[in-house]
Amino acid sequence: MKRYAIVPAWCMLVAVLAGCTKDPVSKLSEADTRIYITNHDSTTNFAAFKTFSISDSVAIISNGKLREKTRDAYDSTMIEAIATALTQRGYTRVSKTQQPDMGINVNNIVNTYTGYIDYGNYYDGYYGYWDPYYWGYPGYGYYGSYIGTYQVNEGVVSIDLFDLKDAGGTGKIKSVWNGVIRGEGIFNIPAIAPGIQALFDQSPYLKSNQ
């Protein structure tokens, strides 16, 4: 699994600014505090996917457990921004009943920051959430081929892309892409567009050949 991150400008400036002020980080804008991280399965041919369906709500995860699923103005804007970005990459949005090649979930992880530990080719567990009943795969588990996690308190937006095309009879759904946004103000609507843009800028391979 390949992993990428955009480190905000303040990380590079702290050393310089520290000599000028006692607390340079306190003067940063919300946008300057944000970090964007993407992970993907390097064995997946994203160009072979043609269709996608995205969950109609956002899962709120607190302390590793699903607290609720919501669809307020923020959630709707986030879902549509992701769908638009995928459409611009050549994928076609369909309903969950039309056998989409990809399924997308959005998780807001509240009071939890997730760090990454590479477990090699298989990790049967995950800090996020997906709903096998929503995607029509009751009884299925899911896995990613890339990361384990650790947690400290913070807020995180996590977007997961699952391969539904090759689920077959394995009883497992594979997570093939994950995007994470963390920092101040990430749960505000104005932060959505630049956040999604940053994640997709890091993921040029996420493009259909149809």
Q: Which domains does the chain have, with CATH numbers?
A: 2-201 (3.30.160.670)
Q: Is the Cβ–Cβ distance between 78 and 141 less than 8 Å?
A: no
Stated pTM of the model: 0.77
Residues 6+ positions from 70 with CB-CB distance below 8 Å: 57, 58, 60
Report the alpha-carbon distance of residue 55 to residue 164 in Å, rounded. 13
Q: How confident is the model at residue 201 (pLDDT cuts 50, 70, 90)?
A: very high
Predicted confidence (pLDDT) per residue in 44-86, tens digit = 999 999 999 999 999 998 877 888 999 999 999 999 999 999 9
Q: Does residue 198 or residue 182 have the better pLDDT?
A: 198
Predicted confidence (pLDDT) per residue in 76-127, tens digit = 999 999 999 999 999 999 999 999 999 999 999 886 455 554 434 433 444 4
Report the alpha-carbon distance of residue 160 to residue 193 in Å, rounded. 17
Q: Inter-axis angle of helices 192-201 and 73-88, to 10 degrees?
A: 30
Q: Which of 188, 160, 156 is nearest to 173 (CA)?
A: 160
Predicted confidence (pLDDT) per residue in 145-193, tens digit = 554 454 555 688 999 999 998 776 667 888 899 999 988 899 999 999 9
